[in-house]
Amino acid sequence: MLGDAVLVLAFVVIGRASHHAAGGLPGLVSTAWPFLAGLAAGELAVRAWRRPAALVPTGVAVWLSTVALGMTLRVVAAQGTALAFIAVAFAFLGLFLLGWRACALILTRAASKEAGHVRDSRGF
């Protein structure tokens, strides 16, 4: 959950840097708050604290709400929502918010399989 917020902030920082956006901390906050609000709404909706690393439903719900609510709030706040920006946000946030969960799932399954293999080789 904190990690998700850090990843959303990374998206904002990278995006602002790639566009050479000025404004310092106020500019960063102005860009970040819609996405952080979307993230918080998604995490509350699926009770992400119960299974924070779950790809489904936690990861998918958090990702989609971050993008959808983030873009909606940007419209309400008269910030830009060009189609290219929506596509980049969708892809980047999907990669980051789903990516770490997918890695955790793969590692957990591999560790579980390895533990089962070790157990079997000892006759248990």
pLDDT higher than 90, residue 43: yes
What's the structural domain count of the chain? Answer: 1
**What pLDDT does 108 receive?**
87
The token pair at 28 is 């960063």
Amino acid 67 reads V
Percent of all residues in the chain with a pLDDT value above 70, rounded to a whole number:
93
Q: pLDDT digits over 80-89, tens only?
A: 899 999 999 9
Amino acid 25 reads L
**What pLDDT does 117 receive?**
58
Which ranges of the chain would DSSP assign to H, the alpha helix? Answer: 2-18, 24-45, 60-76, 83-121
Q: What angle do CA 42, 48, 3 make, to 5 degrees?
A: 90
Please report, for residues 111, 116, 117, 119, 120, the alpha-carbon distance to residue 123 in angstroms, rounded to integers and kept in the order given: 19, 11, 10, 7, 5
Residue 63: domain span: 2-121
**What pLDDT does 93 receive?**
97
pLDDT higher than 60, residue 52: yes
- Residue 120 or residue 28, greater confidence: 28
Percent of all residues in the chain with a pLDDT value above 90, rounded to a whole number:
76
